[in-house]
Structure 1
Amino acid sequence: MDEQGEVKVRNPWHKPLCIVLTAFIIGGIITMVAVSVVQNKPLPQKYKYGIVLDAGSSHTSVFIYEWPAEKENNTGMVQQKHTCNVKGKGISSYYANPDGAGKSLHECMLDAKQRIPAQRYSETPVYLGATAGMRLLKMEDETASEKVLASVEHSLKTYPFSYQGARIISGQEEGAFGWITVNYLSEKLNKPTGTLGALDLGGASTQITFVPQQQIESEDNSIDFRLYGNDYHLYTHSFLCYGKDQALKLSMGKKLESTPAADKTDPIELRDPCFNPGYNYTKTVQSVFDTPCMNEVKMPNGNFSHVGVGDWSQCQQSIRKVFDISHCEYSKCSFNGVFQPSIDGTFGAFSAFFFVMDFLNLTSDSLASAKQTLATHCSTPWKKLVENHPKIKQKYLSEYCFSGTYILTLLEDGYNFTSDNWKDIQFIKKIGDSDAGWTLGYMLNLTNMIPAEAPDTPLMPYGGYVTLMLLFTVFIVVLLILAYMHFRQSTRKGQKDII
């Protein structure tokens, strides 16, 4: 009996098999966590690149875009890496020297080579889109426009990138791609919320694009996209000759046409309310009429004295004369008989819209306040304006009164914005680190980087996944500890009962 009383039950955890199993469980859990963390940790990004040249009427800009190589179809992933402004005027200015158009791109293309890794050269697409300046040149001299495009094509093919073409894009395309850009960068294309309208103003044309609430009555102003599983029915129109530079020539041309010289031998004196008082320069009539936009205006001969008067109210009255609102075959029109549905939603106004309004500090003003500020600016003596802005070229500085007044008149009288919805216009230069404009939308469209259907997304973000895995691991470990403690307590109780 004494020998039986000394018999004890061995703790089953001391058995080799239990020890091995426990080690495997703990090792498995540690391995699971380690593998999950290593497998899902952010890896060093590998980028792809794209280059788009915006060959505008007044200058050319080279945009370099980059995106993570493994996520190129996710919205908001493509970002602007760098911009290089080509020295000199736009490529259309080389109509008499086509070879100069291609050569002018050299410095910025070398800059692109330095900013893009060499191993990515062969897969980096290069696109050149020419806008209103080249559209006007094609209207005036199609052969010259073809030679200019051939020159830039020859030049771009000499660089180690994947050349994809150089062409003149239509005004409708320019407006539509600008709309894609601002909505892509604002990440509105894959969300149920409303989209942004797009207002673009260049030197030779202006574009308006938005999703209307009413039927589009003119097929020429309609374009459809299916992006990220959503269908978009856009209204868009581009007004050639109504960019700020060409509009200035239109306005001055009409004034010159109705301003006779005091004497046949004397030069014409053009008293211009859109230029500051004290501004007085002699200019050639040819400098105003050297554009196809002036074909319907009778050109006088010789030179003229351009004298600033600085009267904002008279300036706006003179600008209104370049808009024809006398006829409309549709239920509603903007100007020149062009159909336009009622303005709806928020708009992003970029390019010259932003640059002019930003200089005049009008990007956040009400319409009434903007008019008052412009009236003050236009009446500022030219000499004082030059003293206040010594670093700005006088040609550009002299045109701000006209440009600011033209923008207000275009938006209010042309596009039918009012004091009530003026706050819906956002004057923007960039969205994030990328310029607002048509170039990004153009590249996204040509590379099919915005899928027609919504891309698949992970069940949860990386951080959430790792957190969930760690919580489950801790939960399992706690359960094992509790089970061990309970089993050990039960074993000790059993031993006492046996003893």
Structure 2
Amino acid sequence: MGLTWKERAFTALLGAAAVSGLTTLILFLVEATNVLLPADTKFGIVFDAGSSHTSLFVYQWLANKENDTGVVSQALACQAKGPGISSYASDPAQAGESLQGCLEEALALIPKAKHQQTPMFLGATAGMRLLSQKNSSQAEDVFAAVSRVLSQSPVDFWGAELLAGQDEGALGWVTINYVLGLLVKYSFSGEWIRPLEGTLVGALDMGGASTQITFVPGGPILDNTTQATFRLYGTEHSVYTHSYLCFGRDEMLNRLLGGLVQSSPGLLVRHPCYHSGYRGTLALAPLYGSPCVQAAAPRDLGQNLTVEGTGNPGACVAAIRGLFNFSSCDGRGDCAFDRVYQPPVRGQFYVEASSPGQDRWLRDYCASGLYILTLLLEGYGFSQETWGGIEFRKQAGGTDVGWTLGYMLNLTSLIPAEAPAPWRAQSYGVWVAGVVFLVLTLMAILGATAVQLWLRD
């Protein structure tokens, strides 16, 4: 039996409503897709040439200036094979070659069409600072070799430079506060707001050859050599920052061993920070090759040193305290150690401590842990009340909390002087499409219901 004319009319109306609804939905979804397409994405590459190793970081951000705040993200982190570039002083060409593997990873990640527009920098820290002090000619050769390799890449190489200790600390402070959204953030009411000054966090960095502390003190900074000033998003920030060369983990261990060698007769050293039962040999020449080891060297550096562990925590702490000059700050409340001015620590701190993670460093874990404890409590002046404000983090929000992001932001002027204009949500088109679809669906249902009632009559 065929359909009546009323049933055919109902089917036609229902089909027309469905086609109309789907067509409109598709058109709105196409428009929404266009709205959601990201603006031109840009990339930046930074090499962190540290004392113990070199790391590469790739950052990406939207080119739209209104989106500069809070949209920079870490796209790649790569650790180059081998030691830091300062270790290649006798063979500079290898310093450049050691960066090739990570550079190739970065180039594979970044679209080829973006290569020429991608800035790339290399910043060298305490390892190269020490090499520059020891042999400036060798340091220049290493920088030349690194620059030669990186300048041959298809990206826009902006150069390799020696980063001052104060800059390393201050840029690390910018990184962590930027990543945590503490410099400026976008509110639900559609306005840019600046968090209260007291919410800014301090930055502590424990590297291989140096350590840095940076924070906003509770009062004026009385020594302008320890002050760094930034104008970010229309607000001026003044921070205390200081870098201690030769107080990083690796150089601390060298200085500790050098002092034990000096106080031991012959070439047998009993090390209180090594576990009982440990016995090993090492060459003397590399130990005394560091400018940080001030102890008098034995006459014959070609000999090997035998080290035995005694596992004595009390003696270990005493030996570590001997690396600091705490007595130079007696009676001064604004002094850390070695006569260095420092106001009292204030607020929450994020610590980035490098960790080699290799079995050969297991012997040094006890010494490293007690050293960090001594530095934080007796050196920087943290107490039982302020200790809880320290967080040990390697990353925040998926981004490494070192100096590299702050360095890139600074050199590429990604941080504008004033807060950008309010940003309109790009998801607007999706909401509109959803609302229209619901309205059309409701209209189709109501229409179908009306027709069914009509058919019953």
Letter in 2 for 1:51: I
* Distance of aligned partners of 1:269 and 1:72 in 2 relative to their CA distance in 1, 3 Å threshold: farther
Contact persistence 1:205–1:243 (CA under 8 A): yes
Matching of residues 282-297 of structure 1 within 5 Å: 282-294=281-293, 296-297=294-295
Distance in 2 of aligned mates of 1:184 and 1:258: 47
| 1:273 paired to 2:272 | yes
**1:413 aligned to 2:378?**
yes
Question: Conserved in 1, the CA contact under 8 Å of 2:208 and 2:248?
Answer: yes
SS of equivalent to 2:230 = strand
2:425 matched residue in structure 1: 461
Amino acid at match of 2:348: T
Q: Distance in 1 between matches of 2:230 and 2:433?
A: 41
What is the identity, as a one-letter code, of the residue corresponding to 1:218?
A: D
* Aligned equivalents of 1:38, 1:127: Cα separation in 2: 38
Query: Contact between 2:40 and 2:63, CA under 8 Å: does it hold in 1?
Result: yes
Cα offset, 1:35, TM superposition = 11
Please tell me the residue identity of whatever aligns with 1:453.
E
Q: C-alpha separation between the residues in 2 aligned to 1:73 and 1:341? A: 36
Report the counterpart of residue 220 of structure 1 in structure 2: 225
- Give the TM-score normalised by structure 2: 0.82
Shift of 1:394: 3.2
How many residues matched?
A: 402
Distance 1:72 1:147 in 2: 42
Whether contact under 8 Å (1:206, 1:240) holds in the other structure is yes
- Residue by residue over 1:94-131, the C-alpha shift from the partner in whole angstroms, topping out at 9 and shown as x without a partner, is 11111111111112212221111000000000100000
> Quick one: distance in 2 between partners of 1:289 and 1:424?
38
**AA at the equivalent of 1:308:** G
Give 1:303 deviation, angstroms: 3.1
CA distance in 1, matches of 2:346, 2:239: 12
Cα deviation, residue 36, structure 1: 11
* 1:140/1:349 CA distance change after superposition, 3 Å: same
Q: Compute the displacement of 1:463 (Å).
A: 4.4
Quote the Cα distance in structure 2 between the aligned partners of 1:241 and 1:35.
60
1:145-164 equivalences under 5 Å are: 145-164=139-158
Instruction: Please identify the structure whose Cα radius of gyration is greater.
Output: 1
Q: Deviations over 1:166-189 (max 9, x none)?
A: 010000010011111111110101
1:470 and 1:113 map into 2 onto residues whose CA distance is 40
Mapping of 1:67-106 within 5 angstroms? 67-71=61-65, 73-106=67-100
* Cα gap change, 1:464 to 1:158, in 2 (>3 Å): closer
In 1: Cα distance, 2:43 partner to 2:428 partner: 30
CA contact (8 A) 1:125 1:161 kept: yes
1:413-444 superposed Cα distances (whole Å, 9 cap, x missing partner): 11111122111001001112211101111001
Aligned to 2:251: 246
Aligned letter for 1:130? A
Tell me what 1:340 maps to: 342
Query: Which residue of structure 2 aligns with residue 327 of structure 1?
Result: 328
Work out whether residues 72 and 78 of structure 1, in 8 Å CA contact, stay in contact via their aligned partners in 2.
no
Contact 1:51–1:127 (Cα < 8 Å) also in 2: yes
Within 5 Å, give how 1:171-190 maps onto structure 2: 171-190=165-184
Alpha carbon RMSD of aligned pairs, Å? 2.6
CA contact (8 A) 1:254 1:297 kept: yes
Who is 1:428 aligned against?
Answer: 393
Deviation at 1:465, TM superposition (A): 8.3
Query: Unpaired runs of 5+ in structure 1?
Result: 1-29, 262-267, 357-391, 476-499
Percent identical across equivalent pairs? 43
Structure 1 residue 448, shift from structure 2 partner: 0.4
What is the TM-score when the length of structure 1 is the normalising length?
0.75
Q: Which residue of 2 aligns with 1:373?
A: none
Q: Specify every segment of 5 or more residues in structure 2 that has no aligned partner in the other structure, as ranges.
A: 1-23, 185-193, 440-457
Equivalent pair of 1:199/1:349 in contact (CA under 8 Å): yes
Higher relative contact order (CA 8 A, sep 6+): 2
> What residue number does 1:192 align with?
195
Change (3 A) 1:233 1:38: same
Code of the aligned partner of 1:410: L
Instruction: Pick closer, same or farther for the CA change 1:158–1:279 going to 2, 3 Å.
Output: same
**Any idea what SS the aligned residue of 1:165 has?**
strand
